[in-house]
Amino acid sequence: MHATKALAEADRLMTVCNSCRYCEGLCAVFPAMEMRRAFPDGDLNYLANLCHACGACYHDCQFAPPHEFDVNVPKTLAEVRNQSYAAYAWPRAFAGLFARNGLVVAIAAALSVAVFILGFVAWHDPAVLFGVHAGPGAFYRLMPHNAMALLFGAAFLYAIVAMAMSVRMFWRDIGPSPGGPAGLRALWQAVGDAGRLRYLDGGGVGCFNEDDRPTDRRRIYHHLTFYGFLLCFAATTVATGYHYVLGLEAPYPWYDLPVVLGTLGGIGLLIGPVGLLAAKWRREAALQDEPRFGMDVAFIVMLFLTSLTGLALLVLRETGAMGVLLALHLGVVFALFVTMPYGKFVHGLYRFAALVRYARERRAFMEPAEVPETVTTGQGGTRP
Ligand code: SF4
Ligand code: SF4
């Protein structure tokens, strides 16, 4: 007995696939499936989060619709995956946020914070809001650094705690890991697999998105978004070190490390999300979990807006537009932080946890010497 219809359908499909095994060379899902005889909910959530939605097994499947077996693994695993985000949400009372219109919630939160900052500054001294400020400490004329650090530190800390609790629930639900405590080699393997999106390549030919012609576009846009995000995070971390360790106040010159990292990351976060949105828009309907389209879009749009307002602030920081742009940027970043645990961001965390689990299972079920990096299959793909 399963908790949802999607989980029951995933159980049926995994049972069919476990008899067929034609797709075992395409990604990590099928080898992980083959290590099981039964599929309780926790295992299905694990397999769903191991799936990178490359679409290859739908196009390769001889039992896909209109066949009476009606096998559509990518769509069913997408449904299970999306439902798992709500199932592991912390606190549980906020699980419903995944089902609401994420984009409206995130934009409303961003505008609320921006309007609050603008209203507060305008009420105190409108000249500060529309004045031209330059040199170290210019940003803090609008909002004192300590207030900024407190507000955003609290939002970020909340997001970290909420996501850590969710991943903990997921890790426990997928059952005890074979082979004892996590080995560093398994962890390193998972870092490598996540860092290069190893399983978003359709078994070596590329990702199937809008038709049966695979391309690497989705993987490239995903990389730009992921590494753009990491660079922006690195920029913020370095800037925090500059402020508290070196006593240097923002804004920094364009050639300084926080600005260089932030600019490169910002460019990635402009191009990547636009590409992902376009890919999502064109994605074959048969592969999509339609009801969750809004939640996926919300996170991508918020990343894009974070970058857009950040780069606009960089270009116009020595003009009278700085005050309004800074308030907008802070509002968007705040909304991004507080909606992070209840949006698409969590897919990266669950997927990484699933990759760690998979690397451990493989090492537990195979002698280390048997664990291959990649093996070319007869289907022209690569076996994980
Ligand atoms: S998706 Fe289809 S072809 Fe692939 S293993 Fe499952 S049943 Fe077989
Ligand atoms: S990663 Fe690709 S091949 Fe593997 S289950 Fe998901 S959609 Fe199918």
The pLDDT mean for the chain works out to 89
Give mean pLDDT, residues 266-288: 94
Query: Which residue, 258, 262, 281, 259, is CA-closest to 270?
Result: 262
Could you identify the atom of ligand 2 that is nearest to the CA of residue 23? Answer: 3
Ligand 2 neighbour 10 (Cβ under 6 A): no
Residue 145 predicted with pLDDT over 80: yes
Query: If DSSP codes are grouped into helix, strand and coil, which group holds residue 207?
Result: strand
Q: Is 10 in the pocket of ligand 1 (CB under 6 A)?
A: no
Q: Detail the DSSP E strand segments found in the chain.
A: 375-376, 382-383
With a cut of 50, say whether residue 375 has pLDDT above it: no
Q: How far apart are CA 45 and CA 354, in angstroms?
A: 9
Distance 9 CA to ligand 1 centre (A): 14
Ligand 1 binding pocket includes 293 (Cβ within 6 Å): no
Q: What does the pLDDT read at residue 39?
A: 96
Q: State the pLDDT at residue 329.
A: 93
Angle between helices 5-20 and 41-50 in degrees, nearest 10: 70
Does the Cβ of 69 fall within 6 Å of ligand 1?
no
Report the nearest atom of ligand 2 relative to the CA of 56.
3
Q: Answer whether 208 contacts ligand 2 (Cβ < 6 A).
A: no
Ligand 2 and 54: CB distance under 6 A: yes
Q: Evaluate if residue 55 carries a pLDDT over 50.
A: yes
> Is the distance from the beta carbon of residue 56 to the nearest atom of ligand 2 less than 6 Å?
yes
For a mutational test of ligand 2's pocket, the pick from 71, 73, 289, 350, i.e. the residue with the most ligand atoms closer than 8 A to its C-beta, is 73
Query: Which tokens belong to 237?
Result: 């971390």
Give pLDDT, residue 179. 59
Does ligand 2 have an atom closer than 6 angstroms to the CB of 33? Answer: no
Which residue's C-alpha comes closest to atom 4 of ligand 2? 27
- Give the number of other CB atoms < 10 A from CB of residue 131: 14
- Ligand 1 atom 3: the closest Cα is on which residue? 61
Mutate to test the pocket of ligand 2, among 18, 21, 51, 288 (most ligand atoms within 8 A of CB): 51
How far, in Å, CA of 52 to CA of 55, rounded? Answer: 8
Pocket test for ligand 2, best of 26, 39, 358 (most atoms within 8 A of CB): 26
| Predicted pLDDT at 100 | 62
For 85-140, what is each residue's pLDDT tens digit?
Answer: 999 999 988 887 776 666 777 787 788 888 888 888 888 788 888 888 888 888 99
Rounded to two decimals, the pTM is 0.88
Ligand 2 site, residue 27, Cβ cutoff 6 A: yes
Q: Is 53 in the pocket of ligand 2 (CB under 6 A)?
A: yes
For the Cβ of 55 lying below 6 angstroms from any atom of ligand 2, the answer is yes
In this prediction, residue 367 carries a pLDDT of 52
pLDDT in tens, 317-343: 999 999 999 999 999 999 889 888 988
**pLDDT at residue 374 tops 90:** no
Chain segment 172-231, per-residue pLDDT in tens: 998 776 655 557 888 899 999 999 999 999 999 999 999 999 999 999 999 999 999 999
Residue with CA at minimum distance from ligand 2 atom 2? 54
Q: Which ligand is nearest to the CA of 17?
A: 1
Q: What is the pLDDT of residue 197?
A: 92
Question: With 90 as the cut, is the pLDDT of residue 233 above it?
Answer: yes
Q: Which has the closest alpha carbon to 38: 72, 2, 71, 91?
A: 2
How far apart (Å, rounded) are the C-alpha atoms in residues 217 and 275? 8
Q: Are 203 and 379 in contact (CB under 8 A)?
A: yes
In ligand 2, the atom with minimum distance to the C-alpha of 47 is 5
Nearest CA to ligand 1 atom 4: 23
> φ, ψ for residue 240 (rounded to 5)?
-65, -40
Question: Which residues lie across from 382 on neighbouring strands?
Answer: 376
Residue 147 has pLDDT above 50, yes or no: yes
Tell me: cis bond preceding 91? Omega within 30 of 0 counts: yes
Task: For residue 163, report the distance from its CA to the centre of ligand 2, in Å.
Answer: 25
